[in-house]
Structures are given as structure tokens and as C-alpha cells.
Amino acid sequence: MTTPEVRMDPASAARLRQIALAGLLAFAIVTGVFYSTAAAVASIWWRSETFAHGLVVLPISLWLLWGMRWQLAETPMRPSSLPLIPLLLSGFAWLIGESASVAALSHFALAGMLVSAVWVVWGHTLAWQAVFPLAFIFFGVPFGEFMVPALMNHTADFTVSALRLTGVPVFREGNSFIIPSGSWSVVEACSGIRYLIASVMVGFLFAWLNYRSLRRRALFILAAVLVPLLANWLRAYIIVMLGHLSDNKIATGVDHLIYGWLFFGVVIAALFWVGALWREPEADFAPPASAAAGVAQPVSMARIGAALLAVFVVAAIWPPAERWLATTPGAASYQLDVPCAAPGWVSVGELPVANWRPSYAGERARIVQTYRHGNDELTLFIAYYAQQTPGRELVQWDNRLVTAEDKYWREIGAETEQIGSGIDVRRTRLLRQPADRLEVWSWFWLGDSTTADSKRAKLALVKDRFARRPDDSAAVILYARQSEANSSTRRLVEQFVAAHEGEINRVLREAPRR
């Protein structure tokens, strides 16, 4: 026996069309004003395997809204001016994100403006009715790559501990380890970030659709966070053990990925199967059979137009403000002189130690110079940035010591220390098989101060932008070979800094050419 379909009466259908049109226009206004940011987000969805889930976020939000169309049609739409406050705050956050080139902040701010704009034209009651479909938009923000190093460390910790518990001897150095059958490394693809992001998004959706109580939703979301983490750790351990027990005949090529995805798929399927056992029935909603049952009244188009105009005015003030701030004062050109060698040191040319250079891009000027002290050699690398714009900034994703694509060098450890006259530096150890090791000592020069903290360097850029002053800064990097695994280049670096700190600062201050 089939249940006869209940058709929406003309009055309710008209209200629903009005709601949909107002929401889409508000969405379109914000997307149009911030088109470059929206296009950047869409580009990340398209090209990144980690954030490809973003392609389905908006369709899922629309599908959720369509599923509650009866409730929406019978809920009054009353445009409100109060949501202009979060719209304004989101716009300011976007301005900060663009000024500091913090893409994640700009992208979250865009999502906040989209939700706030719809809230303005729909009003509190209707927006609250659709709170989950609207909030689901935030899952489209490409966010989470900052967790990759920590996830890699935890995966390596678990894998090494599990191997030792099962009787396999392990020698570990950073996220690389050696067992009797061969060597393994936990790389970015092994971090599990893709599993985690996808599981959390689907976990929220599953919890919303299948549970009514806040407690059950919270417990399932917690499981959706923890299970993929544990599954990824087990996956890494199983892959290593398969290779070890088969004398590296399986799980070392393409099948490595196949086994990993298969195992993860089984675990996640089990998670949702168990979660479905405790699903709660959805509260019945009886669609009205006639217009007489409807309580919501249509809103005048003039009132909707006024709300849309307010959205446009509040949103449109930020791009011109960003363009004004982006015109940072600076010099006509920039040039770095090679720091003169102090007594006891000899400048031996541009060929760097171990023929290695940091991966930095977009600088206004750079120098690479190697110095010798006795039998020891050390390379000084400086990348100078000014009038910073996206792609030409001191702190950006492309500026790293070792990229994920590097087939030879990899980081095996890092910590913050202090050298010279109280300079905070980041000491990073690099390894190239079989036994070539470097120690890299790096810090940021910010004009009147130095720091090893990239967040502080970003904050300094924001302050310079809003104060309308030059944003000149630089990455200063020293590196030398480690002669043995347990030796350190600290003494050599401290001697160099003590002898050349003043000269380096002079070179940096004189880089702008008027």
C-alpha cells in the first residue's frame, strides 16, 4: 500500500519560492562581491584530494533544505537587521585574513558572511529552523592541513610502539624508522588527514539525520573523530607488518594504497552500521492539506529588497578597504649585499653546504653565501620580503625548508632554541639517506625585532598593513653538516652569529634602495 502524495497548496508554494529566491539572492550577492575568494575555495576543492569533499557541501546543504521544505514554507520569514552585526564582523575577519594572507581565515569569513546574509533576509525564526543546513556550509572551508605534522608524529608513535610490542626491533629517527626487513617513513599521505576530515563531515551529517538527542549526536561525532584516527594508526601498522612478513613482496607498491583504503572503508562502514543501531525516529511532521492551515504570511518584496540592499552595502565596503591596505609603502627596488666575513672567517662563494637550499619563493631579494671557519663550513641564506602580496610573502605555504615533493631530504626533528644575543631560532634536523645530515637554524627578521614564530610574523604583517607602514621582513637561515648523528652544529652557529649579527642586520636595513 502506498501513501498518497500530499501536494503543497499554492499559498505555501508561493511562500517557499519567496524564501528560496531571497536566500539565493543573498547568497549570490556575497559570492559576487567576494568572487575571488569564492573562486579560490572552489579551485582548492577541484585540485586537492584532501578537500575534494567541498564539491558536495553545497549540494548537500540544498538537499537538506529541500527535505525540510514543508517546515520552511510554514515558518514566517521576517528580515532582520541584527544579523548585519555578524555579517560586519565576518567582513572584518575577511579583511584581516586578506591583509595577512591567511587563506583559512578569509575562507571561514566568507562562509560566515554567506550564512549571515541568508540570516538577514530570512530572519531569526526561519534561519534557526534551517540552522544545520546553513551551518553545514562551513564544512566547505579548506581547513586542517596544519594538523598534518602532529598526525604524522602520532601515526609514527603508534606504529613504532605496536611493532615493538609484537617483537619487531625498530630504530627510529623522526618519522622514519628501520626494521630488519627494510626502512619506512610516515609521510604526509600517511597522516590520515583525508580520512579524518571526510569522517567528521559525514559524521555530523549522519548524527543530524539519525539522532534527535544532543547526547547521542555528540557521542557519534566524537566517535567520528576518534575512529578514523585509530583506524589510520592500525592501517599504518598493518601495512608495515604485511611488508615485513612478506619480505617486502606485498604492501610496498600500489597495493599499499589499496589495502589502506580498503581497511579504512571497512572500519568506517562498521562505524556507521553500529551508529544506525541506535538511530532515533524522526519526529513526524504532517504537511498541511490546505492553505487554511498555513500561519506564515508573505513578506513584501520591498522589505526583502531593503534587506538585500543592506547585505550588499555591508559586504561591499571590504574589498575596497583591502585594496587600499594592500598598497603598502616601500622602496623602488631591493638588493642584499653579501655580509662581509668577520676575522677568522672566510667567504668561500655561493655554493651551499650539501648543495641544499630552502624552498622559498616570491622574495624581493635573496643571498646564498657559504663561510668557512677552520675546517667547518656554514651557509647563510636570506630571503627578503617587502610590499607583500599573495605569493610574495614571508610566511606562506610555499616557504618551507623541505617540501612534500622532495625525494631526497626530509625533516627528522625540530625545536625552538635561543642563540646569540637572545635570538629565538628554530633548529631543524634534516636527513638525506644514507647518512647526510644537516642542522638548520632559522628565524624571522621583522625590522625592529626577531622571532622564530610564524604566527607572530603574520601578526606583525597585519600591524604593518593597518598602520600603513613598510612591511619589510626576511627569513634568515643558517645551516651546516652534522659530522655524526649525536653531534650538533650549535657551537659553529653561535660563533657565526656572534661574529656577524651586526653585519647581517646592517645588510637587511640597507636592502631598500631609494
What stretch of H or E contains 475?
strand 473-481
Three-class DSSP category at 473: strand
- Which of 96, 115, 143 lies at the terminal end of a domain, its last residue? 143
Clarify whether residues 257 and 354 are in a common domain: no
Q: What DSSP string describes 4-37? A: PPPPPPHHHHHHHHHHHHHHHHHHHHHHHHTHHH
Three-class DSSP category at 210: helix
Q: What is the pLDDT of residues 201-233, one digit of tens each?
A: 999 999 999 998 899 999 999 999 999 889 888
Instruction: Look at residue 324 and tell me if it is in a domain.
Output: no
- Place 291 in a pLDDT band, splitting at 50, 70 and 90: very low
Clarify whether residues 151 and 97 are in a common domain: no
Q: Is the pLDDT of residue 197 over 60?
A: yes
Instruction: Look at residue 306 and tell me if it is in a domain.
Output: no
Percent of the chain with pLDDT over 70: 93
Residue 44 and residue 145: Cα distance in Å, rounded?
12
Q: Is the pLDDT of residue 1 over 60?
A: no
Question: Which pLDDT belongs to residue 257?
Answer: 63
Amino acid at the residue 309: L
- Which of 96, 118, 143 lies at the terminal end of a domain, its last residue? 143
* Vertex 260 angle, CA 259 and 265, to 5°: 100
Question: Which pLDDT belongs to residue 38?
Answer: 97
- Which of 277, 296, 311 lies at the terminal end of a domain, its last residue? 277
Q: Is the pLDDT of residue 3 over 60?
A: no
Q: Is the pLDDT of residue 352 over 70?
A: yes
Residue 126 and residue 249: Cα distance in Å, rounded?
60
Clarify whether residues 78 and 90 are in a common domain: yes
Average pLDDT over residues 401-424: 85
Residue 180 and residue 167: Cα distance in Å, rounded?
11
Clarify whether residues 136 and 258 are in a common domain: no
Clarify whether residues 124 and 156 are in a common domain: no
Question: Which pLDDT belongs to residue 430?
Answer: 92
Q: What DSSP string describes 28-76? A: HHHHHHTHHHHHHHHHHHHH-STTGGGGGHHHHHHHHHHHTHHHHHTS-
In degrees rounded to 5, what are phi and psi of residue 215? -65, -50
Question: Which pLDDT belongs to residue 242?
Answer: 83
Of the candidate ranges 237-246, 271-280, 436-445, 480-489, the one whose mean pLDDT is the lowest: 480-489
Strand segments (E) across 322-402: 333-334, 346-349, 365-373, 376-385
Three-class DSSP category at 347: strand
Q: What is the pLDDT of residues 78-117, one digit of tens each?
A: 999 999 999 999 999 999 999 888 889 999 999 999 999 9
Q: Is the pLDDT of residue 337 over 90?
A: yes
Average pLDDT over residues 481-507: 89
Q: Is the pLDDT of residue 287 over 60?
A: no
Instruction: Look at residue 305 and tell me if it is in a domain.
Output: no
Tell me how many domains the chain contains.
3
Asked if 74 and 294 touch (Cβ cutoff 8 Å), the reply is yes
Q: Is the pLDDT of residue 4 over 60?
A: no
Clarify whether residues 430 and 360 are in a common domain: yes
Preceding peptide of 339 cis, ω within 30°: no
Average pLDDT over residues 37-65: 94
Clarify whether residues 22 and 44 are in a common domain: yes
Clarify whether residues 235 and 349 are in a common domain: no
Domain that residue 94 falls in: 10-143
Clarify whether residues 400 and 479 are in a common domain: yes
pTM of the complete model: 0.86
Q: What is the pLDDT of residues 151-181, one digit of tens each?
A: 888 998 999 999 999 988 988 877 888 888 8
Residue 258 and residue 256: Cα distance in Å, rounded?
6
Instruction: Look at residue 311 and tell me if it is in a domain.
Output: no
Question: Which pLDDT belongs to residue 485?
Answer: 59
Asked if 321 and 95 touch (Cβ cutoff 8 Å), the reply is yes
Clarify whether residues 201 and 99 are in a common domain: no
Clarify whether residues 359 and 494 are in a common domain: yes
Of the candidate ranges 118-127, 394-403, 495-504, the one whose mean pLDDT is the lowest: 394-403
Question: Which pLDDT belongs to residue 174?
Answer: 78
Average pLDDT over residues 32-50: 94
Question: Which pLDDT belongs to residue 345?
Answer: 96
